[in-house]
Amino acid sequence: MKTLTLLGSTGSIGTQTLDIVTHHPEQFRVIGLTAGSNVALFAQQVRQFRPEIVALRDTNQLADLKAAIADVDPQPIILGGEAGIVEVARYGDAESVVTGIVGCAGLLPTIAAIEAGKDIALANKETLIAGGPVVLPLVQKHGVKLLPADSEHSAIFQCLQGVPEQGLRRIWLTASGGAFRDLPVEKLATVTVADALKHPNWSMGRKITIDSATLMNKGLEVIEAHFLFGLDYDQIEIIIHPQSIIHSLIELQDTSVLAQLGWPDMRLPLLYALSYPDRIATNWEPLNLVKAGDLTFREPDHDKYPCMQLAYAAGRAGGSMPAVLNAANEQAVALFLEEKIRFLDIPRLIEQTCDRHQVDNRADPSLDDILAADQWARQAVAEATQTLSLAGTC
């Protein structure tokens, strides 16, 4: 029996993790849950999983949550706001914390969980991208495991089992190509939010679905792979694989290539992050290669999707630059979702913001430096957006 805390339980990652718990009650027990604002679903989860402690970020809705679970006996500890989420992350005897929060908002709770000695099942890639320089030393210091739950990184981690340290030459991250993979580049200028939210293979939260449409998700995953596996950027390749059956590959020194395959279903990487190094039997539909059909591959198109190169450049610059790239992207995606900027403004705003940060880039940033860089980049994007609107481009 493993005890879990789940950050972001009402989201795509959160609900899929709870599905695993529902089907494996003998393996997993939930200690803590947190959510942003969806009180109705959160209250239902509290009833079903009976956590010891919960936190809701939106304190305006805390009274509604308390009313909705007033008859739950015993009552969990109920907290609110960002501080409440940090408390849940570090609470009690949860062995693993699944980070299903979206964005850099996951950074402080993840640090709290690591400092409390908990293993991390990492879905929230933004935390590692922005906070890698402080998160990794803490993982070492506290002797906890940082286990990838992102499907590509789980694939690589699975392929690496049994590979000697010097045996790896490079890795290949597969990318579905996102909502616009078959759209001619000249049509990208006028795509809508609704168009961008139609992912061909995966059902995910809104922010990561937009990241998939810009291919920034793959760029962020390049930086995530750098931090998780200690690879140089020239050892990390991207390949478009529209069917999302091969979740990523590793190439060894002798040219042998190993891949991990499966249906596009996030529950598998989540389960492995929770069961590692064990394998838990499931009743999920086994992969059928005949049914999967043709598996095809293409070169990534860097002219059509500049976000990948922006991410490589920010990763290579290191220091606080990945935090700036990530925050600029979060802010730009939020503005796009609010229909305040156009799709192609996203890479433009990120590039401008990263360019401006070059002179201030901190080589070995502290947590405060990272948080300051994150705030600065959000502000910089907001200001640049006003210039865009004044210039009439949106």
126 binds Mg ion (CB under 5 A): no
The listed partner (ligand NAD, Mg ion, none) that binds 14, CB under 5 to 8 Å by sort, is: ligand NAD
Report the residue number, 92 or 205, with the smaller CB distance to ligand NAD: 205
Report the residue number, 3 or 15, with the smaller CB distance to ligand NAD: 15
Footprint of ligand NAD on 289-348 (CB under 6 A): none
Report the residue number, 61 or 361, with the smaller CB distance to ligand NAD: 61
Report the residue number, 86 or 388, with the smaller CB distance to ligand NAD: 86
The listed partner (Mg ion, ligand NAD, none) that binds 266, CB under 5 to 8 Å by sort, is: ligand NAD
154 binds ligand NAD (CB under 6 A): no
224 binds Mg ion (CB under 5 A): no
204 binds ligand NAD (CB under 6 A): yes
- Can you give the C-alpha Rg of the chain in angstroms? 21
Report the residue number, 36 or 200, with the smaller CB distance to ligand NAD: 36
Task: Point out which residues pair with 121 in neighbouring strands.
Answer: 98, 147
The residues near 160 (Cβ < 8 Å, ≥ 6 apart) are: 168, 229, 250
The listed partner (Mg ion, ligand NAD, none) that binds 205, CB under 5 to 8 Å by sort, is: ligand NAD
Q: In degrees rounded to 5, what are phi and psi of residue 356?
A: -65, -30
102 binds ligand NAD (CB under 6 A): yes
Residue 55 beta carbon to ligand NAD: minimum distance, rounded to whole angstroms: 8
Size of the site for ligand NAD (CB under 6 A): 27
Site track 3-32 with ligand NAD (rule: CB under 6 A), x = hit: -----xxxxxxx------------------
Of the listed pieces 139-147, 198-206, 223-231, 234-242, which binds ligand NAD according to CB under 6 A?
A: 198-206
Residue 20 beta carbon to Mg ion: minimum distance, rounded to whole angstroms: 18
Footprint of ligand NAD on 256-275 (CB under 6 A): 266
330 binds Mg ion (CB under 5 A): no
Exactly one of 95, 126, 150, 369 binds Mg ion (CB under 5 A); that residue is 150
If 0-12 CB within 10 Å is exposed, 13-18 middle and 19+ buried, where does residue 295 land?
middle
The listed partner (Mg ion, ligand NAD, none) that binds 102, CB under 5 to 8 Å by sort, is: ligand NAD
101 binds ligand NAD (CB under 6 A): yes
The listed partner (ligand NAD, Mg ion, none) that binds 35, CB under 5 to 8 Å by sort, is: ligand NAD
At which residue do the structure tokens 């996102």 appear? 178
Report the residue number, 332 or 388, with the smaller CB distance to ligand NAD: 332
The binding site for ligand NAD (CB under 6 A) comprises 8-14, 35-38, 57, 85, 100-102, 105, 123-126, 150, 202, 204-205, 208, 266
Interacting residues with Mg ion (CB under 5 A): 150-152
